[in-house]
Amino acid sequence: MDPGEHAGDVTVLLRDWTAGKPGALDELFDLVYPQLRRIAGALFRGERQENMLQPTGVVNELFLKLIRQRSLRFEDREHFYSLSARLMRRVLLDQVRHQSRKKRDGDLNIPLTEELAWIGSKPIEAIDLDRALAELETMDPRKCRMVELRFFLGFTADETAELLSLSKATVDRELRFVRGWLHERLAPDEV
């Protein structure tokens, strides 16, 4: 689906989504996901390179596209980036599932930021990570959002704080905690 045909829809749906309207998120996914996939195509073929197609670059490109198509307003960027982080999570997971079907134990470079490099070098870990995040989502949605923005989109702590209307100190502190929790949750310390 081409968002161009639905000028304004993304903006409206973003509002609906943030207002908690049921079904809005799924509709947004359907609307934006194919575009994101296309932009991210090279990324997921393993063609990651310096200066090219970092997740942030992919999402920024999508953002700019939507703005140019006038289906998004600049003021909606907080919601947009939150949505994109979720999308990126989904895209990555899809990719991982696809890859793990193809070659069971092969190494796979999943483009997370360096701070999460200890997770996700194998498909099975990426799927575990997704499960852990789903669990986090039910316990503490805000922290889940934080992880998505920070680790899946590569936003800095400052940007994450701005997007979530929090102080940087809060973001830093909560992320330290959630990072420890995730690590413990995914690979329990034997000690």
Partner 1 sequence: MTLDAENWEILQQLFELAEETPEGDRERVLAMRCADPALVQRALRIFRRANEDTAPPESPKENSPPARFGPYTLLRLVGSGGIGSVYLAERIMGGTPQRSALKVLSPHAAGPSFVERFHREQHILSSLDHLNITRMLDAGLSDSGEPYLVMEYVEGEHFDVFCDSRKLGVRERLQLFLQVCDAVAYAHRNLIVHLDLKPSNILVSDQGTVKLLDFGTSKLVQADSQLTTTVLATPAYASPEQLRNEPVTTSCDVYSLGAILFELLSGWHTTDSAAVVFERALSGREPEPLQNAVTAAAAEARGMSEIHLRQLLSGDLATITAKCMRALPSERYASVDALSDDIGRYLSNRAVLARPQTALYRISKFVSRNRGSMIATVVFTIALLTSIAYAGWRQEQALIAGQRALRMQTFMYSLFRLANSNFTGKPAATVSEFLKLGTKLLPQYIRDPADLRQAQMSLAESMFENGDLDGAQVVFAQTIASAKTARDLQSEAESEAFAGNIAYQQGQMEQGADLTAHALELSRRPGMPAAIKVRAAMYYAVNRDNAGFRTDENVKLLEYAAKEAQDEHLPPHEAADALYNLASDLELRGLIDKSLPLYQQALDIYNRDPSELCDQSQVYGDFAYAYQMKDDLKSALPLFQRSYDGYLACSGPDSRGALVAGDYLAGALIKMGRAPEALKLLEPELAPWRKIAGSSPDLAEVLFFLTEAYVDTGRFSEGEKTARELISVQEGKIAATDRRIGASHMMLARALAGENRIREALPHSEIADKILANGAVSPGAKAMSSEAHQLLIDLQSKDPNRFMVNKIVK
Which residues in this chain contact partner 1 in the complex, by CB under 8 A?
A: 38-39, 41-42, 45-54, 56-61, 63-64, 67-68, 74, 77, 81, 107, 109, 114-118, 121, 135, 138-140, 153-156, 159, 173-174, 176-177, 179-181, 183-185, 189, 191
At 9, which helix (H) or strand (E)? Answer: helix 9-18
Distance in Å, CB of 21 to partner 1, minimum: 26
Our CB check for partner 1 shows the closer of 19 and 191 to be: 191
Our CB check for partner 1 shows the closer of 156 and 167 to be: 156
Distance in Å, CB of 18 to partner 1, minimum: 20
Half-sphere exposure of 135 (CA within 13 A, CB side): 11
Distance in Å, CB of 23 to partner 1, minimum: 26
Q: Which residues contact 179 (CB under 8 A, 6 or more apart)?
A: 115
Distance in Å, CB of 134 to partner 1, minimum: 12
Our CB check for partner 1 shows the closer of 50 and 105 to be: 50
CA 31/CA 77 separation, integer angstroms: 16
Nearest to 32 by CA among 74, 78, 72, 92: 72
Distance in Å, CB of 26 to partner 1, minimum: 25
Q: Which residues contact 17 (CB under 8 A, 6 or more apart)?
A: 24, 25, 28, 79, 83
Our CB check for partner 1 shows the closer of 27 and 37 to be: 37
Our CB check for partner 1 shows the closer of 16 and 128 to be: 128
Nearest to 96 by CA among 86, 108, 84: 108
